[in-house]
Amino acid sequence: MRAQNRDVVYETLLSEAELDHWIERIEAAELTAIDTETTSLDEQQARIVGISFSVAVGNAAYVPIAHDGPDAPVQLPMELVLAKLKPWLEDASKKKLGQHIKYDRHVFANHGINVQGYAHDTMLESYVLEVHKPHGLTSLADRHTGRTGITYEDLCGKGAKQIPFSQVPVEKAAAYSCEDSDQTLDVHTVLWPQIEANEKLRGIYELEMQTSEVLFRIERNGVLIDAAELARQSNDLGTRIVQLEKEAYDIAGQPFNLSSPKQLGEIFFDKLGMPVVKKTATGARSTDEEVLEKLAEDYPLPAKLLEHRSLSKLKGTYTDKIAQLADARGRVHTHYAQAVAVTGRLSSNDPNLQNIPVRTPEGRRVREAFIAPRGRVIASADYSQIELRIMAHISGDESLLHAFKEGIDVHRATAAEVFGVTVDQVSSEQRRYAKVINFGLIYGMSSFGLARNLGIETKAAAAYIDRYFQRYPGVKQYMDETKLQAKARGYVETVFGRRLYLPEINSPNGPRRGAAERAAINAPMQGTAADLIKKAMIAVQKELDEKKPGILMIMQVHDELVFELPESEMDWVRAEIPRMMAEVADLKVPLLAEVGFGANWEKAH
């Protein structure tokens, strides 16, 4: 069967002879684009409905294998199709291309196929070349090839009326899937030469491709969850939330809706006479998070509301939900989004492991529910003060480099410089101030922001910043030069050459330009930290594959890698993982990684 549309030739493969002919074509091809159509967006559950291939732009084929709509034709049996394709799919020498290949890897793994030979991913090509733009195939095809196509909604509908892909008529499904493979190949022919021509970008792209493979492994492993512990936490949080409501009613002198801005405004400003901190765009008195935090410094009711909000969020997002996400073995498989954060950092969802609030005891307690099976332990390895070390490397500031090379506590060293005392005279309060200054300046914090953070006058904060820059002139020079460079080029780079675009850097809008300038200072550090943890993941996974297959990498959170291992392997992990993490790059300061162990994630810290 053939479907022709303009200058494309798309085929639907319904006979074994047709399939065999296409297998010969993909076996002989230099590069084959491949796309799966499935039953679900959940990559751990999705089953294949059909597969498409393209070996030349404008030419593709679709193999339907699980369409069950009323007019579905007789299709080749799934077992036959997958058995015939498996040798090619698992052959690393047969080069494959996809759009978001990590998803397709999972789908094939659900059918017992371990795909090898993925050479390219158009989503990651776009992420490396144009991080600030959308990376979906529809957007890529439109931007780079001028082609538009059929959308998923066109085929399946939306909302309650949406039908499963298996019920889409085969000829429409074939046109849609063939177009996906065809456009993926077309986009690749535009993007890949641009990456290939730039050595730095090629290095970053290879890093992303290898990271995708490691993330697939981490997602597949999952982490064991203690559902009973989460239920206890939910119960405790629920009790405290009810208690906070009652306390809020007592302070207000009446019951009220804790999430109604109108009612809050009346109670705060009319009844209790609190000062109006700011107004909304419509002129209403604001009761947003920032206002509550300011008022909570002097009034008990806003403090109760903040605690109520934070505990309700913890309960709704984590303690109630995580156990529902577990598979039959009680393991949760987060999804790592690789092409979202412009700095190169990973983000995670279902559950979001990056945002568990670890500054509160209740938040830290959530990590107690991430456990090791009997006879095994959790290990957590993380980089120490990674962004400050990167700042020392990038800026080349002598005093910062000296502190790290000599192993001096860098916050103590900064406090000594800023407060004009010796390192051993620094008080814990002065060290705390220095820590806020060190991290604040990395994020481009102003004197106003620093003053708010430390609870001091803006004038005093400005004096601290001036003194800091006098003592660390290399940091000041780095910040000034980076802003100028960003304005001239429109982007900044990490140590390894990842490009971070700043579209608002020359904006006439002051606040937007200011935000872009702050991002220009921070992005190279956050982006380099992201590159380093990815390099560490790749190096460690390679070593585990070769020597220690019983050790599983189960999570990555910012600058931290989490493992599940037999108790007998603790000594190896203690010695080897920090060494590998420290050796992934040769910077002007030593990298330092530390590892801890425990029966659960929290205890491993």
Instruction: Write the pLDDT tens digit of every residue in 169-222.
Output: 999 999 999 999 999 999 999 999 999 999 999 999 999 999 999 999 999 999
- Give CB contacts under 8 A, 24+ apart, made by 514-518: 516/486, 517/444, 517/483, 517/486, 518/443, 518/444, 518/445
- pLDDT, mean of residues 517-545: 95
Average pLDDT, the chain: 94
Residues 562-590: pLDDT tens digits? 999 999 999 999 999 999 999 999 999 99
Q: According to the model, what pLDDT value does residue 7 have?
A: 83
Q: Quick one: which of 528, 385, 401, 406 has its CA closest to 472?
A: 401
- pLDDT, mean of residues 131-139: 94
Q: According to the model, what pLDDT value does residue 4 have?
A: 39
Q: According to the model, what pLDDT value does residue 160 have?
A: 87
Q: Give the separation between CA 454 and CA 467, rounded to whole angstroms.
A: 16
Q: According to the model, what pLDDT value does residue 307 have?
A: 94
Residues 544-568: pLDDT tens digits? 999 999 999 999 999 999 999 999 9
Under the banding of pLDDT at 50, 70 and 90, the label for residue 481 is very high
CATH number of 2-220: 3.30.420.10
Q: According to the model, what pLDDT value does residue 294 have?
A: 87
Question: How crowded is the C-beta side of 106, counted as CA atoms within 13 Å?
Answer: 27
- pLDDT, mean of residues 86-110: 98
Q: Give the separation between CA 478 and CA 28, rounded to whole angstroms.
A: 52
Query: Is the bond into 134 cis (omega within 30 degrees of 0)?
Result: no
Say whether pLDDT at 2 is over 60.
Answer: no
Q: Give the separation between CA 19 and CA 81, rounded to whole angstroms.
A: 8
Q: According to the model, what pLDDT value does residue 1 have?
A: 36
Residues 402-420: pLDDT tens digits? 999 998 899 999 999 889 8
Tell me which of 216-225, 252-261, 438-447, 575-584 is least confident: 438-447
Question: How crowded is the C-beta side of 173, counted as CA atoms within 13 Å?
Answer: 31
- pLDDT, mean of residues 35-62: 96
Q: Give the separation between CA 238 and CA 245, rounded to whole angstroms.
A: 11
- pLDDT, mean of residues 433-444: 88
Under the banding of pLDDT at 50, 70 and 90, the label for residue 73 is very high
Instruction: List helix spans (H) across 367-472.
Output: 386-395, 398-405, 410-419, 428-442, 447-454, 458-471
- pLDDT, mean of residues 26-47: 96
Q: Give the separation between CA 54 and CA 26, rounded to whole angstroms.
A: 8
Percent of the chain predicted with pLDDT > 70: 99
Q: Give the separation between CA 66 and CA 48, rounded to whole angstroms.
A: 7
Name residue 284's amino acid.
A
Burial of 195 (0-12, 13-18, 19+ CB in 10 A): buried
Tokens 């498996």 sit on residue: 86
- How far out from the chain centre does Cα 519 lie? 18
C-alpha radius of gyration, the chain, whole number: 27
Residues 289-307: pLDDT tens digits? 888 988 988 899 999 999 9
Name residue 33's amino acid.
A
- pLDDT, mean of residues 88-108: 98
Under the banding of pLDDT at 50, 70 and 90, the label for residue 6 is low
For the beta sheet containing 331-332, the strands, ordered from the edge strand earlier in sequence to the opposite edge, are: 331-332, 223-225, 370-371
CATH assignment of 225-332, given 1.10.10.10, 3.30.465.10, 1.20.1060.10, 3.40.190.10? 1.20.1060.10
Six token digits for residue 466: 């001036």
> Do 387-527 and 361-386+530-598 have the same topology in CATH?
no
Q: Give the separation between CA 437 and CA 414, rounded to whole angstroms.
A: 9
Say whether pLDDT at 469 is over 50.
Answer: yes
Sorted by where each begins, the domain ranges of the chain are: 2-220, 225-332, 361-386+530-598, 387-527
Residues 329-387: pLDDT tens digits? 999 999 999 999 989 999 999 999 988 988 899 999 999 999 999 999 999 999 999 99
- Give CB contacts under 8 A, 24+ apart, made by 43-47: 43/102, 43/103, 43/106, 43/107, 43/219, 43/335, 44/106, 44/110, 44/219, 44/327, 44/333, 45/110, 46/103, 46/106, 46/107, 46/110, 47/107, 47/110, 47/111
Topology (CATH) of 387-527: DNA polymerase; domain 1 (1.10.150)
Topology (CATH) of 361-386+530-598: Alpha-Beta Plaits (3.30.70)
Dmax over CA atoms of the chain, in Å, equals 83
Under the banding of pLDDT at 50, 70 and 90, the label for residue 475 is very high
- pLDDT, mean of residues 427-445: 89
Q: Give the separation between CA 559 and CA 601, rounded to whole angstroms.
A: 15
User: CA distances (Å), 287 to each of 281, 294, 300, 305, in order?
Assistant: 13, 10, 15, 11
Residues 6+ positions from 428 with CB-CB distance below 8 Å: none
